[in-house]
A and B are shown apart, each in its own frame.
Chain A
Amino acid sequence: MNFTQQDSKKRCLKYRERILGISQKVRAIHAAGAFSAIEMVDTIYFGLMRKKNNKNFQDTFLMSKGHGCIAQYAILEELGILPKKELDNYCTVDGKLGSHPDYGVPGIEASTGSLGHGMGLAVGMAHADEIKKVDRKFFLMISDGELQEGSTWENMMMAANLELKNLICFLDHNGSQSFGHTKETHPKFYPLKEKITSFGWECVEADGHNQDELIKKVNSRIGKKPFMIIGNSIKGKGISFMENKPIWHYRSPTPEEYKIALKELELQKL
């Protein structure tokens, strides 16, 4: 598979349009948290995960920040893993996709949504792969808010103790959570990189919306420890009035806002 930043950018515009379209039918969409992660998730699926064959991946991806799963759904639709009708029926009684991912849905490895669970599941799965000597990389995406959960740190400690070299975690560092900007609400949350490194992880920072940089940073890791890439991102990225505004954590745009948003995406295609 030849991954190019240009192709990924095109796909990401398409996902944003698709998500905004769905947002006009349902309210619980968490579009802003999806938009901060979307370049990273696309890069993982199209640029980093190895395929076993045309249909199946050899590597695993888990979206621990379950509230951003609409980004993953749009990508799974692009990959042909989720049929179009499923996204059309998002959050309706006729469909099986809700605003947090459920185990059993095609392409979803585990149920997430309650924060602080994904790291443990990932450590267990990655360790089981090592026991079984399965050649598999484990890609995990967590949110920065999720890094406030004690369980995430418990499991990061265990990932390092178990020397899980096959675990690669993307931290969607959009710096914003339901109550506001983390720098203001929880200043001692920072510094991040030092904390993560001190827990026995290899850690680097990157622009979370720059696919080439993300791939380069992942592929040039030393690889002797579990690896965390802090993807510095913008919540609501791509739609000017949504960017870095905490109010967009949950809400959907009004019809008027939707039209403006689509126009902005059109301009980005040029």
Chain B
Amino acid sequence: MRNKFAEVIYKTGLKDNRICALVADISPAGAMIKFREKFPKRFINCGVAEQAMIGIAAGMALRGMRPFCYTIATFTLYRPFEMVRVDLCYQNLPVTIVGMGTGTIYSTLGGTHLTQEDISVARSIPNMNIIAPCDPNELEEAVKYCCTKSKGPVYLRIGKAGEKNFTNKLSEKWQFGKIRKVHPGKNICILTFGPIIEKAFEIKEQLNKKKILPEIYSCHTLKPFDYLGLKKIFKKFKTIVIIEDHSKIGGLNNIVKSSAYENKYSGKIISYSLKDEFIHCYGTQDDLLAKHGISSKKIYKDIIKVIK
């Protein structure tokens, strides 16, 4: 995903001189080197100084530029939090902060490098928009949106490297603020966002063998959330499964359940989110997720039980 991000801002940057990239001493992905070489004034490496990165981006946006601040997710949002809140959100400036390697992706780096509560934190700031694309195709659409159309700050929550594409020509068109059906089905509905969509497709394969056809949605825009789209899902499905690489507090789990209450939804919602606990273990991302009760095998078994 990081390469796709760099490639899109480079291509857009060729046509639009408002696009600029600010990084905090992160080793640049392939196309980011091209951006730096082509637009030396519009590329700023702020060093290990994330507060400066956000403040400078805000200043540039006040002068009509469209900056992207890019580094590992925890350092784009938590470290410079007050700059994000005051400089970007309070002033409602079109700056995109790109949090890379979100959730449990940096599974061997320890709790300091994990972002299990970023959506919860970002969602509570007025004016903040949140987009979490599920694959490189969606990321491309999201970055294009941030380059030209976004009117205020965006927290763009992305993966890292090597993600497969799950969306294709059959998927609905990507639209900011709209839930997107990425795979049609009828028995149950799986709601998810971000690269963990991979699990939804693994589960779909297994369920299909039992003639169960799940419909899969990418809820890529976490704020503003598509409550109308969700209402349609409540009407259509009796069982909803939520899978997210994020804390159970303040993410998709909370969004769907609070809306279910408001809409008097009488079906079942089973959700798989990270526990409200710091993660002190290491291993693969799957190892970490499994410790928090998130694995394709477990979700598959639970769904079979619920359906029967």
B55 x A111 contact (CB < 8 A): no
Residue in contact with B62 in the complex, picked from A109, A116, A119, A158, CB distance below 8 Å:
A109
* 9-residue interface stretch from A50-58, A81-89, A122-130, A204-212: A122-130
**B86 touches A (CB below 8 Å):** yes
Chain A 98-144 interface residues, beta-carbon cutoff 8 Å to B: 103, 109-111, 114, 116-117, 119-132
Contact with B along A146-159 (1 / 0, CB 8 A): 00001100110110
**B280 touches A (CB below 8 Å):** no
With a cutoff of 8 Å between Cβ atoms, the chain B residues found around residue A131 in the complex are: 17, 20, 41-42, 65
With a cutoff of 8 Å between Cβ atoms, the chain A residues found around residue B58 in the complex are: 110, 120-121, 124
Contact with A along B20-59 (1 / 0, CB 8 A): 1000000000000000000001101011010110111111
With a cutoff of 8 Å between Cβ atoms, the chain A residues found around residue B52 in the complex are: 120, 123, 151, 154-155, 157-158
B91 x A120 contact (CB < 8 A): no
- How many A-B residue contacts, CB cutoff 8 Å? 99
Nearest neighbor of A138 in chain B, beta-carbon distance:
B59
Contact with A along B102-123 (1 / 0, CB 8 A): 0000000000000000000000
With a cutoff of 8 Å between Cβ atoms, the chain B residues found around residue A124 in the complex are: 55-63, 67
Cα–Cα distance between A124 and B56 once the two chains are bound (Å): 4
Q: How large is the interface on B (under 10, 10 to 19, 20 to 34, 35 or more residues)?
A: 20 to 34
Residue in contact with A117 in the complex, picked from B42, B44, B55, B60, CB distance below 8 Å:
B55
**B140 touches A (CB below 8 Å):** no
Cα–Cα distance between A117 and B55 once the two chains are bound (Å): 7
Cα–Cα distance between A127 and B42 once the two chains are bound (Å): 9
Contacts A103-B91, A158-B46; is A120 near B62 (CB within 8 Å)?
A: no
List B residues at the A interface (Cβ < 8 Å).
17, 20, 41-42, 44, 46-47, 49, 51-52, 54-65, 67, 82-83, 86-87, 90-91
Q: How large is the interface on A (under 10, 10 to 19, 20 to 34, 35 or more residues)?
A: 20 to 34
**A247 touches B (CB below 8 Å):** no
Nearest neighbor of A62 in chain B, beta-carbon distance:
B59
A157 x B47 contact (CB < 8 A): yes
With a cutoff of 8 Å between Cβ atoms, the chain A residues found around residue B65 in the complex are: 128, 131
A154 x B63 contact (CB < 8 A): no
With a cutoff of 8 Å between Cβ atoms, the chain B residues found around residue A127 in the complex are: 41, 44, 56, 59-60
With a cutoff of 8 Å between Cβ atoms, the chain A residues found around residue B42 in the complex are: 131
Known: A121-B59, A124-B58, A127-B41. 14 other contacts (CB 8 A): A110-B58, A110-B59, A111-B90, A119-B55, A120-B56, A121-B56, A123-B52, A124-B57, A125-B63, A126-B59, A127-B56, A128-B63, A151-B51, A157-B47
Cα–Cα distance between A162 and B20 once the two chains are bound (Å): 15
Cα–Cα distance between A157 and B48 once the two chains are bound (Å): 11
11 contacts between A and B (CB under 8 A): A103-B62, A109-B62, A111-B86, A111-B90, A114-B86, A121-B58, A121-B59, A124-B59, A124-B67, A132-B63, A151-B55
